Amino acid sequence: EIVLTQSPATLSLSPGERATLSCRASQSVSSYLAWYQQKPGQAPRLLIYDASNRATGIPARFSGSGSGTDFTLTISSLEPEDFAVYYCQQRSNWRTFGQGTKLEIK
Amino acid sequence: QVQLQESGPGLVKPSETLSLTCTVSDVSISGYSWSWIRQPPGKGLEWIGYIYYSGSTNYNPSLKSRVTISVDTSKNQFSLKLSSVTAADTAVYYCARDGLNWYFDLWGRGTLVTVSS
């Protein structure tokens, strides 16, 4: 099983700041990695797929990078609606999710 | 607008079988794979398994012995059965489409299933 480790567990920032979230895989997943956003009481929403491609309707402030074992989700300038929990997910071998990073308002 | 809707009992007794159905609207179930994912209260996401519209399946190895996913293309539905449940299976259960490049691009709203006597 491929384990995804996200860091930090919690990130406290203010609107307008830049957010950098990390996801590390226990073995290479090539570029088969996605990022999801989940708000309380809602299902997750696909943001980024294949490491760096934005899903339909996702604002340009969201970007993804990385390959192999190290990946990053960057939100260039935080909007109030961006405060949520973010999960990475790989599809290289079965499907697994990271444990999540909570992005909270400072 | 494509919609996925989970349905089934919200309470299941320990040792019994959890059964859920996902009804897909406004898109044919054919041509895609469809997954079940769960989330225990306050915790992260766990993929349970997926079924291709043809009926072929893949399950999370940690749950494989207890999981069965089936599809009914005539009803545009797919279903989950999880046997021998315990309190650890209490979670919100989501159905989702393995769509865009085989990622979960469409989700149901989720349904809470509690395992308790």
pLDDT one-digit tens code per residue, A8-28: 999 999 999 999 999 999 999
Residues 6+ away with beta carbon under 8 Å from B92: B38, B39, B41, B110, B111, B112, B113
A49 touches chain B (CB under 8 A): yes
Residues 6+ away with beta carbon under 8 Å from A30: A67, A68, A92
CB contact under 8 A, A45 and B107: yes
Average pLDDT score over residue span A58-80? 98
pLDDT exceeds cutoff 80 at A60: yes
Q: Across all residues in chain B, what is the average pLDDT?
A: 95
Share of chain A above pLDDT 90, in %: 99
* pLDDT classification of A48: cutoffs 50, 70, 90: very high
> Closest Cα to residue B107, out of B86, B90, B87, B93?
B93
| Least reliable range by pLDDT among A9-18, A67-76, B53-62 | B53-62
pLDDT exceeds cutoff 90 at A105: yes
Can you tell me the distance from the alpha carbon of B46 to that of B48, in angstroms, rounded to the nearest whole number?
6
CB contact under 8 A, A55 and B108: no
Cα torsion A91, B29, B39, A49: sign: positive
E strands along chain A, which residues?
Answer: 4-7, 10-13, 19-25, 33-38, 45-49, 53-54, 62-67, 70-75, 85-90, 96-97, 101-105
A96 touches chain B (CB under 8 A): yes
Partners of A2 in the β-ladder? none
pLDDT exceeds cutoff 80 at B2: no
- What pLDDT sits at residue A84? 98
Share of chain A above pLDDT 70, in %: 100
CB contact under 8 A, B100 and A55: yes
pLDDT exceeds cutoff 80 at B102: yes
